[in-house]
Structure 1
Amino acid sequence: MQMDDFLRYFDTLEICNLTADLACNDHTHPWNSNSFQGTWVRGHNAGGCRNYKGTFWSNPQYMVTVEGDDQTHPCTLLASLLQKDRRKERATGRDFLVIGFEIFKVPDQFRDMTLVSQRATALSSLIPMALTPYIAKRDITGRYELAPGQYLIIPTTFMPQEESSFSLRVFTETQHTLEEIDCKVKAEAKVFREAELRMNMEEFRRHFTRLSGEDQEISPEELQNIMVQTTSKHAHLKTDGFAIDTCIQLLRIADVSLHLLLECRIPYERLNERL
């Protein structure tokens, strides 16, 4: 077929590449493939695209190491991002999200950064060497020629705080490894010492005695006063108050014995067990 005829009758060309499990014979050179199943979760790792610098770093991050002996000879890499289970949700009015991904060359110092704060700062200064358009499609695929080395792939929704499950697949002609970046979260030792003090049961017993009075039981009215006093000491806690019915329900949740349900009072031993 002449090229002019091809251009006349066709406007789309799709190229299929065999993965290792679909190799047909010894003469076939299948692609090396890896995949990860992930989820964008609101308030956790649904950071949106790079336009949202304050949250972009929180998106899932995947490190792909492309192997090769010659740094001057590029290797072909295919990356495919697929959002899962969206078509069956169309009946509820939910359609495909606008998704895409970006690929960054990993600088040497980035490999030694294991803390979230370190990576968040470093990521804002990186410039993507490849990125897809953001489109509301089930699957976004890109083909790239990259020198051997380490690259960071960040799949995102366009807008932050959008939730969906996704699948990220990577294909290369040469060998490669793919791993999810999981930053370490740490705290100073004094934080744990303070937690131990808060869990000191003797201190808790004295505090309970002081609040519960002579009968050593918490009534709905006493619980109401405790919660009002507690929230008033913290400016960031906003409340319109606590209804007495709410306090009764809280006591019932803490103890299910019939006697206490009827009396709506809970002694120290029961409260201590629940806490």
Structure 2
Amino acid sequence: MPSSVRVCGSYTDMNAGTPAEALMDFTGGIHMCIQLSDPPPDLWRLMSRAGNYGALLSCSTPQGESSSLTLSPNGLVEGHAYTVTGVIQMMSRGKPVKMLRLWNPWGKGEWNGDWSDRSSLWQTVNSQDREKCLSVADDGEFWMTLEDFSKFFTDLDICGLNPNFLDEDSSSRWTTSVAEGRWVAGTTAGGCMNYKDSFWTNPQYRVKLCGEKAEKNILVSLMQKSDKRNRHLVQNLHIGFSIFEHRAHRGKFTASFFSSQQPVAQTKTFMNAREVMELLTLKPGEYMIVPSTFHPNETASFLLTILCKTETRCYENSGERSPEPVPEVPDHIITDHVWLTRHCLNSNMADVMKVKNRPEDENKNAFFRQHSDKYEEMDAEQLQRILNEKLLKGDLKSGGFSIDACRSMVALMDTSVTGRLNSSEFIRLWNKVVIYKVTTSTLALSCCTAFQKYSNPVPVPHTSVFYRRVTFVGQDIFFQTDVSRTGTLSLTELRNAVVASGTPGSGEPPGMRVSDDTLNLMALRYGASSGHMTLESFISLILRLDCMFKIFRQLSDGKTMSLQESEVKTSASLL
């Protein structure tokens, strides 16, 4: 009993609930739920196998007009749970009859229809069956046919420690794969397939089925895990999943894939139950399972369990992806944009910025001397005033950089370890901010320099046309990915912004891979309570990623590197 209290939260929370939850919580077994309004054609064989393997079976009657437990004319209690204690077939008048024995956990109150304790139909079976099965007593136990069972009960739950009850082949060896995940509003909670623009953001899991095709060879279970400790506070979301067949593909599947593909299998309906499951027949191949809530932006944790009769490989598919395409633009602009991205925003951007910055270094030095102290150094408070009132004035949405953010910047850029920024450290910080937040005019001049440098080996548009169209690409990373034009980044836009920023400071082309878990941590650490990220938070995030990347690159020396637990904690503390 104390262990049950810990699971439910309190003694009060142990009151009421569903049989399925009780069976799974107490046994940890394999669960299968069957809606008797649409039963499988092999329902009788399934129940017989479950009985032979010692599985637990429970069922429920439909809820009546009132929420109270009301006794119906047939003797069954409305909205009540019963247990199936026997599955047997006997002969009556020369014909086989499929019979089920049920028990009311109250210990009294029984079915009074056909094959009840005092039914005359018991006189149609042989004396051995009658003596073995019939017990005339108000003990809550009674018999009824499978047809009446399907008519007067709504659902059947089967829970067994051995999954062999799922299949008639007792020699089958079922393998189990379990994955834990989470839907996070704004990031990985895209809703069902009705929401075409956001469905792709849901967690994705790849499954590879090997071996030969077999009937009912895979069971997929999706269980939502509440963040509430007390069970009476839990409000289940409507959940379900879709399964897609796919070929070799690298990275997370985007909206374009789902707009052209239909699922090969899915849950029949989204239910506000703790668990939904489907027993399916799938041919060998590669599949992707997408668990989701019905509505987008609903946060919850979940457990995805896959049981298969053949060798199965399952892994999360969110670790690598390409950014979701921005809205379509005319082809002639795309041509220029591709050229600019390749020669300005990628590895050559560093050279372009160096060419652009050389004549301005003296101006930046003069600016630094004007705003620094008498020792030509700058502390966090001075940096805060310059960023908020000079360099980024008009672009900041939430009051500007906080003093804590500026202290972190000083710590990241302070290579001389003085607690302040000297002239070279400040200019290096300035240049990084420019890369992450470049104005149209600045990038236009830089791109013209790039045009002169690369126009001979690379065919590009005419100079005048090139200069006029450069304003399209002159949007910086932050504002280019802010497709909603709110001045902040939603978490979906943040993913694209981080990917577009590439590997900070590496001089390599864009393409940073961001897993769902990493993105959620970024949003938790740097995002506002609304789930959006401001320009100042984005710059702080990218600066720290830059620092982390350099540390990792120095330690790994370009090779694979493993970290001890203490090193992981130290690295995580920098973020």
Q: TM exceeds 0.5?
A: yes
Q: Which of 281, 301, 312 pairs up with 1:176?
A: 312
- CA drift at 1:252: 7.2
> Quick check: 1:83–1:164 contact (8 Å CA) kept in 2?
yes
Indicate how the Cα distance of structure 1 residues 62 and 99 shifts in structure 2: closer, same or farther if over 3 A, else same. same
Identity over the aligned pairs, expressed in percent?
Answer: 29
Higher relative contact order (Cα pairs below 8 Å, separated by 6+ residues) = 1
> Which deviations, in whole Å up to 9, do the C-alpha atoms of 1:17-66 show, x marking residues without a partner?
5558xxxxxx6644221111112223322211111111111111112122
Aligned counterparts, 1:108-123, within 5 A: 108=247, 111=248, 113-116=249-252, 119-123=254-258
> Which deviations, in whole Å up to 9, do the C-alpha atoms of 1:56-108 show, x marking residues without a partner?
111111121222335xx5452110011123452556x55222211111122x3
Q: How many residues align?
A: 245
In structure 2, what is the equivalent of residue 96 of structure 1? 236
> Quick check: 1:39–1:166 contact (8 Å CA) kept in 2?
yes
TM-score normalized with structure 1 length: 0.68
In structure 1, what is the equivalent of residue 365 of structure 2? 206
> Which deviations, in whole Å up to 9, do the C-alpha atoms of 1:89-145 show, x marking residues without a partner?
556x55222211111122x3xx2x3245x6431122111122211111111111112
Q: Which of 76, 85, 88 pairs up with 2:217?
A: 76
In structure 2, what is the equivalent of residue 268 of structure 1? 421
In structure 2, what is the equivalent of residue 48 of structure 1? 191
In structure 1, what is the equivalent of residue 295 of structure 2? 159
> Quick check: 2:365–2:423 contact (8 Å CA) kept in 1?
no
Measure, in 1, the Cα distance between the counterparts of 2:199 and 2:305: 21
- CA drift at 1:154: 0.3
In structure 2, what is the equivalent of residue 231 of structure 1? 392
Indicate how the Cα distance of structure 1 residues 228 and 80 shifts in structure 2: closer, same or farther if over 3 A, else same. same
SS at match of 1:228: helix
- CA drift at 1:238: 2.7
Q: Which of 123, 126, 138 pairs up with 2:261?
A: 126
Indicate how the Cα distance of structure 1 residues 151 and 5 shifts in structure 2: closer, same or farther if over 3 A, else same. same
Measure, in 2, the Cα distance between the counterparts of 1:211 and 1:137: 65
Amino acid at match of 1:206: N
SS at match of 1:206: helix
Measure, in 1, the Cα distance between the counterparts of 2:300 and 2:148: 40
- CA drift at 1:251: 6.7
Measure, in 1, the Cα distance between the counterparts of 2:192 and 2:366: 49
Say which structure is richer in helix: 2
> Quick check: 1:86–1:96 contact (8 Å CA) kept in 2?
no
> Quick check: 1:66–1:176 contact (8 Å CA) kept in 2?
yes
> Which deviations, in whole Å up to 9, do the C-alpha atoms of 1:130-185 show, x marking residues without a partner?
22111111111111122222221100112222222211011122222212223345
Amino acid at match of 1:63: R
Q: Which of 276, 283, 291 pairs up with 1:140?
A: 276
Unaligned runs of 5+ in 2: 1-87, 89-96, 99-143, 164-169, 324-340, 412-418, 430-542, 544-575
**Which structure has the larger Rg?**
2
TM-score normalized with structure 2 length: 0.36
